[in-house]
Structure 1
Amino acid sequence: MIPQGIAYGGDYNPEQWPEEVWAEDMRLMAEAGVTMVSVGIFSWALLEPREGAYDFSLLDRVLDMLHAHGIAADLATPTAAPPAWFFVKHPEALPVDKDGRALSYGSRQTFCPSSPAYREAALRMARALGERYAGHPAVVMWHVHNEYGCHNPECFCEESAAAFRGWLREKYRGLEALNDAWGTRFWSQWYYDWDEIIPPRATGAVPNPAHLLDWRRFCSDALLSLCEAEREVLREAAPKIPATTNFMVMHNFDALDYWRWAPKLDVVSNDHYLRSTDPESHIDLALSGDLVRSLAGGPWLLMEHSTGAVNWQPVNRAKNPGELRRNALAHVARGADGIAYFQWRAAKAGAEQWHSAMLPHAGTDSQIWHDVVQLGADLKALGEVRGSTVPAQVAIVWDWDARWALELPSQPSAELRFQELVRAWYEPLWRSGIAVDFVHPEADLSSYRLVLAPSLYLVDDEGAANLTGFAERGGTLAVGFHSGAVDPNCHVRLGGYPGAFREALGVRTDELFPLLPGESVELSDGGTARLWSERVRLAGAEAITTYTTGPLADVPAVTRNSFGTGTTWYLATQPDPATLAALLDRIRTEAGVMPVLSTPEGVEAVLRRGTEADYLFLINHTEASAEIPVSGEARELLTGKPVPGAVTVAAGEVAVVREPRE
């Protein structure tokens, strides 16, 4: 079974080092408190040096060694990096880009997701691993592949074209239904034969948006089918060993619809890396953790993050003092029951040689190593937190279909980015200490007081009815501009905007006025707005804020409406951060949503709820210490000391307070 407490470790790649180094690895892992490592992720070429000829001798020794030292293994299928011999034999399995250029092997994930040859080889490898190690005492979890779609989210070859047509046949059953869904009467795009349909390769003008959207859906499903196939092979060999694969929910990675992926896994895992260009990247971290926890429906595993710098940004900066610890414990605060890094020992060769690791190039005489050892002790002290949940009264709607559709070409504005719009609404809640879940439009909303839909350009009838029904039954729903505009086929909902939400919001827009880059308009509450404006007409709602400058002066910009026994809000523009924060503060206060705890600016407070106690995580992102009131019987877990009445969190530090529940 997965180790008790908060699991701790990282990717372990002993094949990169002489075998005499391995004994030192075991000694240092014990010193750091490592309890679980991922093994074999990129070892296909060593495990299968020739087609069908396996050599598991190295992996045998590694797993035996880990078990002897009490370290569990998350054993990977190495299918993210097929060996050179495979591509020499099967050049047709190489991916092709939208310009028709065949890519070469020589890195990782250089395969076509729809290639029959790749699927056969990958499943053969997964089956060999599963059958050999199903009963190995070190193996507690399967790690299926690695970061699906990271470098090959789509392929435009003929195999992919055939697979795409098969996917479309299954979805639409007939060409008449497809032509109707895609609106192919426009620009003479009508299809008379399935073989006429191709992937959305490079073309002379703007592609059909419905075609593009179905392509994105197909590409996600093509990779998911590979994951499911490997998972099934492993399940046949070892029915009781859980399986995971590492998601990448942030970093503008939008290739996969993780709402469809998450239910297929026994354990949901995620990789998260900070961006050096974001001065408040800890907010991105929090959003990521909340989103993964929501996908998992509870605790999850952080499969990868970095102890310091990464290697793939234009400038790769080291983390500031204390940041390694704050980052890891912030993930735990938001539901992670395991913390792992890429990788255990920093590589001296290869494409990621300048990526930080738990054991850096400098060795144990380094700040990173000191921090890694300290974190191991911290996670051991937090063992009882495992399995606890993060209660939330606010939900933010996040939908990959809506994201893909919003960012298709020929929108009213090319400046709209789904993730940026969502973060703009999330950030004020984070600053206020408001716990947030993320939800699919059709999710059960009965446990929430407030639901926010910052950007839901595309929504189906069921999703729209679910959201508006939540408000009608007494909830508070706030909707952002350009939402509800199109149906799942990217067909505009006629009769005025915001389409599917007009009635519930009590407004009607007849024309859109997106703002130019750098342009802003003034609002009646003293704030400004950018990105977007609309000519809104009230149809039952009241105007809360109006424009005072520009072509829409005196037109409502923010509205409020009574709908059923609940309340709906419409933000027809993007207020400046301070104005948006004040507005969301009003909306959530009226909805009866209060923060976890009132803390000074920059001190993050997150609550995990256990069966017998609450665990209050206090993360100080400032340069000054902060004193936080707590219950009289509280104990700080990282030090083990009682903190009657209050706990002091030093600058840049973290406290985790255990408060018994009555």
Structure 2
Amino acid sequence: MMAKSIKLHTLQLGVCYYPEHWSEELWKEDFERMREMNISAIRIGEFAWALFEPEEGVFEFELFDRALNAAHRYSLQVIMGTPTATPPAWLTHNYPEVLNAAADGTLYRHGMRRHYNYNSPKYREFCAIITREMAEHFKDHPAIIGWQLDNEFNCETNVFYAEADHVAFREWAKRKYGTLDALNRAWGTVVWSQTYTEWEQIHLPRPTVADSPNPHLALDEKRFISDSVIEFARIQADILREVAPNHWITTNGLFGHLDSHALTDELLDFFSYDSYPQFSTIFPSADENSLLDRKWSLNLSATRDISPNFCIMEQQAGPGGWVNRIDMPSPRPGQMRLWTYQSVLHGADLVLYFRWRTATVGTEIYWHGLNDYHNRPNRRVHEAEQVGREFAKIGDMIAGTTYKANIAILRDYDNEWDGEFDVWHGPLTARSTNAWFKRLQYRHIPVDYVSLSAIGADVAKLLRYQVLVYPHAAILSEETAALLKTYVERGGKLIFGARTGYKNIHGHCRMQPFPGPVAELCGITVEDFTLIKGTVKAPALRWTTSTGASQEAFAEAFNDILQVEDPTVEVLAEYASDYYAGRPALTRRKHGSGEAWYYGAAFSDQAVDNLLNLLALSSPISAWLQAPQQVEVGIREADDGSEHVFLLNYGADSALIGVKEDYTDLLGASIAEGSLELPAYGVAILVKSSASD
């Protein structure tokens, strides 16, 4: 299936707005100012259930009718949210079975948001009613262009232990396995006398001694939660398709225990994301060379994999925080604009700031929007005005173009979910993904972040990339192994890391030499292995080739000691110390027109640098542009092959860019004598001069 994208002819700017929070006397001025700023879209309604249905079966839409009419008078397009993330007090009081619960059964009470469970029949019933009532009432309003389902599925919590969830899990397991014998085999219940003899014995993980549930049950729990979200969302999506077929449907987020690819493919017109890059800066990092807010581009890459062109439903517009948690400082001058273009570079064609004005009451009184409480102009408003002017100038050139990359880091939901519980492979993936992403960023090599869940058996989607990195695919099915083998046969270069292929789809360890179904492809087996932890130190790597191995590197976190099984295998590096000194650590085997690489450790920055040298990968702009490490370089490409090269300076000081004179900056900076100076947090978009004339 083709990935679903938002379809716009120009970049559009929007803002989240809550008419119920403000006096109607403010609406006119607010909407006038928005239009002056080139804001053309607002999102409303996602938290207003208590206003839409103040008591059971009584529906009142007048306030939002007036808000929609006012917005329409100023040519503002409206995204309407279904309000199911915040059930009203009458609902949770009268029907407590709709509430979510902790693993010990304690109910999460009214007073927050997202305190419901997806599987309550009563909650599904009420959600269907409010969705249908809203759809019927608003379907013909000329201001509305689309709907957002709920808000941030699985935010705040991504586990659910209400009684309705246990019941639904039992039915899910019946559908999945058919018989208890099949379930017992899949969950390995022969261990510790866990065998189930009646379906009523089946529950989601509950508190256990040492807080250690059956790992195969824990993996299925995540699959069940994802399916529950999709079933819950389907109720609303089906009603909206039926009643308001001329409106598009999306939802926002990128949270745990949800297959967002399946959600989008089955229910949405495109995916939306909420971008708060400052989350990457507020936690201390042992890495002095951390990417900080630039690392948020990895999240945006994951979003782009779902929808190549997408919507940012919430773009950070100020300092963020709740009264009792989350406290982020103010973006520095220029950073808000920088983060906006970070989203645009990675595929956003519609960007809505969160929010128009900072709330004066409630939990989010410190989650600042464009406007402060006093409603006077401030520097954030001025930055948004600048972005609005720039979108008006360049928007039709950028919208619809797509991010261009020749290398991809592979991921998949099964390993992510299994790795949450499994400390023998889970921590490796984030470590290695970060190392690859950082070194590619610093070398100005654009990279995609690709979920194999969206690939299916379509090898053509993989062959778009010269190189694929699949860091630690502990769970690796025979079908996926066959797909990857075909990719290599047809010319691709594929790089595996330690702990590859030793588990099947149920999380069982295979009774065959590691790396299981790709052992033959790689031409090696794993003879021995060890965690690198505590007093066990990471050995250095001794490179058996001088080509490109310019940095000292250590084999970190886990070591697979490799045994060469195929005489055509090249050993590119060996372990230099410990009892396995001299044994292979990095191998390469040619297969068909391509190559399969196996690295027996977690990837470090230095190891990735050496691998990039061995692969002879270089930046696509290296022949005509030189930029310092603090600048992110990315390319959005049009259907005709023309390119827009984004330069984003994440540094607190200016950056000097060397560039040939036949390029110009769409945002107006001059290129003098082959150089362009980007100010702190500055942005440039370069095109060939002939393309901009």
- Give the TM-score taking structure 1 as reference length: 0.94
Report the Cα offset of residue 202 of structure 1: 1.0
Which amino acid in structure 2 is aligned with residue 271 of structure 1? D
Q: 2:371 touches 2:377 (CA, 8 Å); kept in 1?
A: no
Contact map agreement 1:557 1:571 (CA 8 A) in 2: yes
| Residues 573 and 586 in structure 2, CA contact (< 8 A), matched pair in contact too | yes
1:549 pairs with one of 577, 592, 598: 577
Match of 2:3 in 1: none
What are the equivalent positions in structure 2 for 1:292-441 lying under 5 Å apart? 292-296=303-307, 298-311=308-321, 314-384=326-396, 385-409=398-422, 411-412=423-424, 416=427, 418-441=429-452
Asked whether 1:28 is paired with 2:33, we answer: yes
Aligned: 1:266 with 2:300: no
Distance 1:588 1:285 in 2: 27
Per-residue CA deviation, residues 460-502 of structure 1 (Å, 9 max, x unaligned), is 2211211122112221000111121211100112222222221
The one-letter code matched in structure 2 to 1:603 is V
Work out the CA distance in 2 between the residues paired with 1:147 and 1:417. Answer: 27
Alignment of 1:195-594 (within 5 A): 195-205=200-210, 206-248=212-254, 253-263=255-265, 264-274=267-277, 275=279, 276-277=282-283, 280-296=291-307, 298-311=308-321, 314-384=326-396, 385-409=398-422, 411-412=423-424, 416=427, 418-441=429-452, 443=455, 444-516=461-533, 519-525=537-543, 526-540=552-566, 541-587=569-615, 589=617, 594=620
**Are the aligned partners of 1:9 and 1:37 in contact in 2 as well (CA < 8 Å)?**
yes
Q: Is the partner of 2:301 in helix, strand or coil?
A: helix
Please state if 1:12 is matched with 2:17: yes
Per mean C-alpha deviation after superposition, the further-off stretch among 18-27 and 79-88 is 18-27
Q: What is the Cα deviation at residue 333 of structure 1?
A: 0.9
Change (3 A) 1:569 1:494: same
1:643 offset after TM fit, Å? Answer: 8.0
SS class of match (1:447): coil
Unpaired stretches in structure 1, ≥5 consecutive residues: none
Aligned partner letter, 2:238: E
1:603-642 residue pairs with structure 2 within 5 A?
Answer: 603-612=631-640, 613-622=642-651, 623-630=653-660, 632=662, 634-639=663-668
8 A contact 1:636–1:643 mirrored in 2: no
Is the contact between residue 441 and residue 464 of structure 1 (CA under 8 Å) also seen in structure 2?
A: no
Shift of 1:283: 3.0
Find the aligned partners of 2:626 and 2:469 in 1 and give their Cα distance. Answer: 22
Q: Which letter does structure 2 place at the counterpart of 1:627?
A: I
Q: Percent identity?
A: 30
In the TM superposition, residue 126 of structure 1 has moved relative to its aligned partner by: 0.7
User: Match of 2:52?
Assistant: 47
Conservation of the 8 A alpha-carbon contact between 1:468 and 1:477:
no
- Structure-2 separation of matches of 1:413 and 1:582: 23
Report which stretch shifted further, 521-530 or 615-624.
521-530
Root-mean-square deviation (CA), in Å? 2.3
Specify the alignment match of 2:546 in structure 1: none
The residue identity in structure 1 corresponding to 2:226 is S
Q: Secondary structure at the match of 1:619?
A: strand
- State the match for 2:549 in structure 1: none
Q: Quick one: distance in 2 between partners of 1:388 and 1:294?
A: 14
Q: 1:344, 1:262 → 2: CA distance?
A: 28
Letter in 2 for 1:218: F
The equivalent of 2:153 in structure 1 is: 148
Matches within 5 A, 1:59-138: 59-138=64-143
1:204: Cα distance to partner? 1.5
Give the direction of change, closer, same or farther, for the CA distance of 1:392–1:45 in structure 2 (3 Å limit).
same
Contact 1:614-1:661 within 8 A present in 2 as well: no
User: What letter is aligned with 1:320?
Assistant: R
Deviations 1:127-171 (A, max 9, x none): 111111111110011111100111242221221111011111111
Between 514-523 and 299-308, report the one with greater CA deviation: 514-523
CA-CA distance at 1:569 after TM superposition: 1.1
Note closer, same or farther for the CA distance 1:41–1:394 as it changes in structure 2 (3 Å cut).
same
Take 1:309 and 1:606, find their aligned partners in 2: how far apart are those partners? 27
Q: State the aligned residue count.
A: 652
C-alpha distance in 2 between matches for 1:87 and 1:34: 37
Cα distance 1:610–1:19, how it changes in 2: closer, same or farther (>3 A)? same
Instruction: Write the letter of the residue equivalent to 2:476.
Output: V
Cα distance in structure 1, aligned partners of 2:628 and 2:616: 19
Give the letter aligned to residue 215 of structure 2: P
- Separation in structure 2 between the aligned mates of residue 35 and residue 21 of structure 1, nearest angstrom: 18
Amino acid at match of 2:105: G
Task: Pick one of 195, 199, 202 that aligns with 1:194.
Answer: 199
Deviation string 1:621-660 (CA, Å, 9 cap, x unpaired) is 232332332462x442222879896544334211112335
Mapped to 2, the partners of 1:382 and 1:640 lie a distance apart of 14
What amino acid is the match of 1:636? Answer: D
Shift of 1:314: 4.8
Conservation of the 8 A alpha-carbon contact between 2:154 and 2:258 = yes
CA deviation string 1:280-320 (max 9, x = no partner): 22332211122111111x21111113122221555422212
Moved more, 634-643 or 541-550: 634-643
| Secondary structure of 1:395 counterpart | strand
Q: Partners in 2 of 1:365 and 1:462 — Cα distance?
A: 58
Q: Deviations over 1:416-458 (max 9, x none)?
A: 1533432221221122222222323362312221111012221
* More displaced 10-residue stretch of structure 1: 18-27 or 42-51: 18-27
Q: Which amino acid aligns with 2:558?
A: W
* Shift in alpha-carbon separation, 1:421–1:362, aligned structure 2, 3 A: farther
Deviation per residue, 1:243-269 (Å, 9 max, x gap): 000022xxxx42212222221310210
SS in 1 for 2:588: strand
In the TM superposition, what whole-angstrom CA distance separates every residue of 1:596-632 from its partner, at most 9, and x where no partner exists?
Answer: 7543322222111124532111112232332332462
Farther-moved stretch of structure 1 (541-550 vs 221-230)? 541-550
Moved more, 86-95 or 298-307: 298-307
> Contact between 2:654 and 2:677, CA under 8 Å: does it hold in 1?
no
